Structure 1
């Protein structure tokens, strides 16, 4: 009967749990609760494992395995609002900017994995893979579905590679559809937001993409050395070309949520000749 009902975990543990229940004089209610709780726990583990496989993460990462001691400017408390069900219920998108090795991808995968544990679906892709797939799709609506259905979408390495004409068009469709459905996107990028127009070859669509992402979301910049090279001393200072100015940019963003309207963002510029 257990097999017919699909209660495979109870069927497996019943022979070994029954003697314990008799020896310790468990009540019928306690015995039943123990059997059902084991079934539920196993089903939850299988569901998480299946959704992690479907998410196509390039590696496994959790918030517990992130080294916050290496990134002293980043505290776990700063990510708390992205680790609960409100990530989806309040459409809390995120843009993480920073140089390679600062943990951007790890953090976004960890957030998406936590969403799976909370009962949602997630999907991981790189910006280049998403754009290239959608640009050559014969049926764009069908090609969009894998990126629109999951509750959480991670778009990694935004701006790492150059994109040809039409990149902004297809990326905007993903962002706009998910924005209208209230489904968050987690971006990682090594490019300041002001350069997204140059990367996508369309300033207006780039602004529209950023506007929709940050309406209920946040922007977070990670600084510092690469975690991958933490035990090696390497110099990456390149000499500037003659008569060329160097510009450093700092983006200051307010927290955005459904309770607060989109605020303005500040740019600070320092030019050194």
Structure 2
């Protein structure tokens, strides 16, 4: 019986591993970041408590959203990816989207491809839009996509996490439509945690460190 139980457990473990691998592949992530890897000492004013609260994924059961805004290089994407990865580990179907490139792809796609993309992003348990408005002004098709995503997921009480370098007061300018921005933000902010990231850039720190190593005559 012990041998049979061990074989059954081994098969269950294998199936679980395959399922986790499949969820990760479908999530859109290309890495597995965790909050334990984050250097909180570099920018001590970051909302650490709010980040760990987000990492518990309680907001998913509430159909709530999260908006992470702040200067470039302060760790917004790392936190969003860590939350995304944690959600895959907990069995959620997740779509992590680099907003700038994927919205551009959507704008150039035909009707069938747009419908497929929209269906996948609306249907995910968690949708993460990373670096929204990275290119500032987005296309009309991309603006309509954002409105559709927020509207449909709001009705379904499905959560969205958005990271952006742009303050919400400027969204109307980047969308090219102040009324649309108001409509989007009204639904997005109804049930939403707002995390503001301030401080120095990790990327500039790493670039400076590489420069020092390169310049070292030893």
What TM-score, normalized by structure 1, do the two folds share?
0.68
Counterpart pick for 1:152 among 126, 138, 143: 126
Q: How far did 1:49 drift?
A: 1.6
Q: 1:74 to 1:44 in 2, by over 3 A?
A: farther
Q: 1:63 to 1:42 in 2, by over 3 A?
A: farther
SS in structure 2 at match of 1:119:
coil
Matches within 5 A, 1:59-208: 59-74=31-46, 76-136=48-108, 137-139=110-112, 140-161=114-135, 162-208=137-183
What are the ranges of 5 or more consecutive residues in structure 1 without an aligned counterpart?
1-27, 234-273
Q: 1:216 to 1:134 in 2, by over 3 A?
A: same
Q: How far did 1:34 drift?
A: 4.4
* Preserved contact between residue 99 and residue 190 of structure 1 (Cα < 8 Å): yes
* Preserved contact between residue 29 and residue 96 of structure 2 (Cα < 8 Å): yes
Q: 1:219 to 1:35 in 2, by over 3 A?
A: same
- Could you say which residue in structure 2 is the equivalent of 1:263? none
SS in structure 1 at match of 2:139:
coil
Question: Aligned partners of 1:210, 1:96: CA distance in 2, in Å?
Answer: 14
- Could you say which residue in structure 2 is the equivalent of 1:3? none
Q: How far did 1:111 drift?
A: 0.4
Q: How far did 1:192 drift?
A: 0.6
What TM-score, normalized by structure 2, do the two folds share?
0.83
Question: Aligned partners of 2:44, 2:116: CA distance in 1, in Å?
Answer: 44
Question: Aligned partners of 1:43, 1:64: CA distance in 2, in Å?
Answer: 27
- Could you say which residue in structure 2 is the equivalent of 1:223? 198
* Preserved contact between residue 153 and residue 184 of structure 1 (Cα < 8 Å): yes
The Cα RMSD (Å) is 2.2
Q: 1:75 to 1:157 in 2, by over 3 A?
A: closer
- State the structure with more CA Rg: 1
Question: Aligned partners of 2:46, 2:58: CA distance in 1, in Å?
Answer: 21
Q: 1:120 to 1:173 in 2, by over 3 A?
A: same
Q: 1:98 to 1:85 in 2, by over 3 A?
A: closer
Q: 1:76 to 1:31 in 2, by over 3 A?
A: farther
Q: How far did 1:48 drift?
A: 1.6
* Preserved contact between residue 27 and residue 88 of structure 2 (Cα < 8 Å): no
* Preserved contact between residue 66 and residue 192 of structure 2 (Cα < 8 Å): yes
Q: How far did 1:214 drift?
A: 1.9
- Could you say which residue in structure 1 is the equivalent of 2:212? none
